[in-house]
């Protein structure tokens, strides 16, 4: 009996070491690929003539629109606020010379996709960035205390990814090339209590994306899920950027250079390191009552430090 236990402990230890080694290899792969095997400048334009970006009027979506236009693509911007789309489209056309097409759509609704499909007819779409998303409780809450507008969140964070991918992936399959970037969140890499619904919707995006990559990799299509942690946008109340809190422009430039890394990336080196460190923390610490209470207390303290005019 003792010999069996010893063998079992050895097996568990070996598996733990192997798991850690694989994580180290993934991290090194991210670092080495960007240094020694960078993507050619022509890569993005070689996918097709047009890039489609959802949630393109602000933040990360706006940054993807500008950056992909700079890399030679024409842009289809889809978002809810027409005035923002028009202003960003004008700026892109004036600074890059790319053509921009705008489609007004509210992704919290479920009846918008036929109109989007009609507006995309005839375009050679090489890149899709499923970026649109919403966080319905910026303040951490227990599930029953959070706002009740759950369906809007599901439409925006889940249905949009599935339906936009279905609209565009078929033509990519026919042409045997294309790039789909699904913007998830670090909150989707493991359960985040106090943001349970948001975390769960982003976990869906991770699982869906990685499953699709297996299905379509052999057909020449790259499908990657991007799981950033902290980006200074309207969703995060434009918190001042720092070594971890990236601006949208900084993050997007780095994330596009990470396309060759694999099916999942945090998008930038700082967030890859952060994710690696978080993975080392035992889950019982993250999910303890003491840690959850700390988050609630710390957030309340930070809110009290913000002047009323900025809340």
Q: Give catalytic residues, as residue numbers.
A: 198
The dihedral sign for the CA sequence 168, 271, 231, 96: negative
Q: For 97-217, where are the alpha helices, taking DSSP H only? A: 113-120, 150-154, 160-175, 196-216
Q: How far apart are the first and last CA of the chain?
A: 63
Close Cβ partners of 44 (under 8 Å, ≥ 6 residues apart): 51, 68, 71, 72, 73, 126, 127, 179, 256
Residue 170, token pair as written in the block: 């078929």
Q: For residue 171, how far is the Cα from the chain centroid?
A: 23
| DSSP string across 31-67 | HHHHHHSPPPTTHHHHH-SEEEEESTTSHHHHHHHHH
């Amino acid at each position: 009996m003792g010999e069996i236990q010893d063998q079992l402990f050895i097996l568990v230890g070996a598996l733990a070491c192997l798991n850690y080694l694989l994580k180290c290899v993934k991290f090194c792969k991210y670092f080495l690929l960007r240094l020694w095997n960078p993507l050619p400048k022509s890569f993005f334009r070689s996918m097709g003539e047009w890039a489609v970006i959802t949630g393109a009027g602000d933040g990360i979506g706006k940054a993807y629109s500008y950056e992909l236009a700079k890399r030679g693509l024409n842009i289809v911007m889809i978002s809810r606020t027409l005035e923002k789309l028009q202003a960003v489209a004008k700026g892109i056309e004036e600074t890059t010379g790319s053509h921009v097409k705008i489609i007004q759509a509210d992704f919290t609704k479920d009846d918008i996709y036929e109109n989007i499909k009609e507006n995309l007819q005839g375009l050679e779409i090489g890149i899709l960035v499923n970026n649109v998303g919403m966080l319905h409780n910026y303040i951490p809450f227990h599930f029953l205390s959070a706002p009740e507008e759950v369906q809007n969140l599901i439409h925006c964070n889940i249905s949009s990814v599935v339906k936009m991918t279905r609209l565009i992936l078929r033509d990519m399959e026919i042409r045997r090339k294309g790039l789909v970037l699904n913007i998830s969140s670090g909150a989707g890499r493991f359960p985040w209590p106090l943001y349970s619904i948001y975390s769960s919707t982003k976990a869906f995006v991770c699982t869906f994306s990685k499953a699709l990559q297996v299905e379509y990799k052999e057909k020449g299509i790259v499908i990657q899920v991007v799981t950033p942690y902290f980006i200074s946008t309207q969703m995060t109340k434009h918190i001042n950027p720092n070594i971890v809190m990236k601006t949208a422009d900084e993050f997007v430039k780095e994330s596009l250079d990470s396309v060759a890394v694999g099916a999942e990336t945090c998008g930038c080196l700082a967030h890859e390191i952060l994710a690696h460190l978080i993975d080392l923390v035992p889950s019982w610490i993250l999910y303890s009552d003491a840690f959850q209470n700390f988050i609630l207390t710390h957030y309340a303290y930070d809110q009290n430090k913000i002047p009323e005019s900025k809340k």
